[in-house]
Amino acid sequence: MTLPPEWKDDERMNFMFSEFKENRDVNVTDWDSKMDFWTSLIMRSCRQRGSVCINLKDLNETFRREDRSPLGLPTVIQSMARGGKIQRESEFAASVDCGWVSWSVGLLLVKPLKWTFSTLLGGGGVPLEDSFVVIEIVKEKAAELLQLYRSSDLSNCSIVSFQELCGLSSDICADESTLCMALLQLQKDKQVIVCLHEGEKIVKFCQAGQERVSPLNDVDIGIYQLQRSEKLLGERVEKLGQEAARCKEEARNLLREGKKSQALRCLRSRKRVEKRADNLFAKMESIRGILDRIAMSQTDKMVMQAYQTGVAALRLSLKDVSVERAESLVDQIQELCDTQDEVNRTISSGVTAADEDMDALEEELKSLMDEANPDTAPVPAGGVRAPSEQIFSSLPDVPRGPLNVVPDVLEAKLEQLTLSDKDSRQKKSASEGKTSEPAQ
């Protein structure tokens, strides 16, 4: 294993290899630094070796330096046990409700649990052969094992034999004991169920999407037996195929040697082998068809359960909802919208005094205008109309050429117009005088 850099420091290692003081309060800093050093080194050693269990004998051999073993390792083990970092194999197995004890899987259940617990935490020493489980490491191994199963081809089978699992986990579990501890942790976490079937150890894994593994039932056992039968038939078909190929090659060699009768017997044997292989293949296909139907039925069951859950949820959500209530709510909303529209129209129309009469005000304004302009002719009721076309047609044409106007000529015409205007006024006044005399 990889040792820390201070391992070469003699002075530092002399302190680390010494015994712990009986009372921690004498020098808390030295006690804690030594304890942290050995605790981290033990954890690093377990990870590098791929092991989840430790014992005092192996630790003394692992950390031997110049024919010296650390004197404080028993104290370290007791401290780790009190802190819950390690646990005896017997106690770890007892914490899981399973039948591992009857399997004889290597757990050292020699002494009663009560005695071992009191011995560990009491004043007695730690036995050299007692094995302890490192809780943090075994949880890591359990997670790796579960991830390895789900990423392998065995994930199609919910139940796996213990031997198949040993072959699958050979890269992450150093030995069978490590695999057993990882499975114990997974069973404690409700991710696997381990049991015996006809003397064979089988493991049922929790499938993807499930929080915990479902109990083992007869359907699971039946599926496992069908899968085992399919696998055995596949292996036999493969062996028969190899045997048929061998018979064909042997017949070809005999023909080259001129032994036709022996070559014919080899071909007959090949036909028999191929016929057996075809029969076994037909049986294997039947088993595959049954497994496919079982998988479809399980999918249908899952869909039906989802439908039932959805119907129950929908019924619960529509518990207080009805068509009449919905119509009533819609009518109330429409009524409120209409009221809001009327309010908006009223506000936008502006404010008008109730005692004001617009017609009377217009008449008063008109009389005031007449008093202010007494000489102004009354405006026709229909308004002033534009001159008709006859008036425009009676006027002379507008001259289009240049006007040769002489100032003297203009003055003469202006004088004539002035004289004619005076004559017309005199005639008018004379006629008015004659009219007034008879009236008198």
Place 107 in a pLDDT band, splitting at 50, 70 and 90.
very low
How far CA 158 is from CA of 162, 192, 207, 211, 295, in Å, comes to 13, 10, 7, 15, 12
User: In which domain, by residue range, is 273 found?
Assistant: 218-341
Segment among 1-15, 224-238, 342-356, 381-395 with least mean pLDDT: 381-395
Chain mean position to CA 187? 27
Mean pLDDT over 355-376 rounds to 71
**Residue 289 belongs to some domain of the structure:** yes
pLDDT for residue 341 is more than 60: yes
What pLDDT was estimated at residue 257?
86
Averaged pLDDT of the chain = 79
**Residue 318 belongs to some domain of the structure:** yes
Please give the tally of structural domains in the chain. 1
Q: Report the share of the chain in percent with pLDDT over 70.
A: 76
What pLDDT was estimated at residue 119?
47
List the beta bridge partners of residue 204.
159, 193
**Residue 256 belongs to some domain of the structure:** yes
* pLDDT tens string 141-174: 999 999 999 898 888 888 888 888 999 988 888 8
Q: Is residue 84 within 8 Å of 169, Cβ to Cβ?
A: no
Segment among 99-103, 196-200, 293-297, 312-316 with least mean pLDDT: 99-103
pTM passes above 0.75: no
Place 105 in a pLDDT band, splitting at 50, 70 and 90.
very low
Q: How far apart are CA 230 and CA 295, in angstroms?
A: 15
Place 137 in a pLDDT band, splitting at 50, 70 and 90.
very high
What pLDDT was estimated at residue 67?
85
Mean pLDDT over 319-342 rounds to 87
Mean pLDDT over 84-96 rounds to 84
Place 237 in a pLDDT band, splitting at 50, 70 and 90.
very high
Place 326 in a pLDDT band, splitting at 50, 70 and 90.
confident
Mean pLDDT over 422-428 rounds to 64
DSSP string covering 210-242, please?
-SSPPPP-HHHHHHHHHHHHHHHHHHHHHHHHH
Mean pLDDT over 17-45 rounds to 88
What pLDDT was estimated at residue 425?
66
Place 350 in a pLDDT band, splitting at 50, 70 and 90.
low
Mean pLDDT over 356-378 rounds to 71
- Higher-confidence position of 348 and 147: 147
What pLDDT was estimated at residue 210?
80
Q: In what order do the strands lie in the sheet with 159-161?
A: 159-161, 200-205, 192-197
Place 393 in a pLDDT band, splitting at 50, 70 and 90.
low
**Residue 37 belongs to some domain of the structure:** no
**Residue 384 belongs to some domain of the structure:** no
**Residue 276 belongs to some domain of the structure:** yes
**Residue 277 belongs to some domain of the structure:** yes
pLDDT for residue 191 is more than 80: yes
**Residue 115 belongs to some domain of the structure:** no
Query: Among residues 37, 97, 32, which one has the least CA distance to residue 63?
Result: 37
Mean pLDDT over 366-374 rounds to 76
Q: How far apart are CA 168 and CA 160, in angstroms?
A: 10
Mean pLDDT over 238-267 rounds to 89
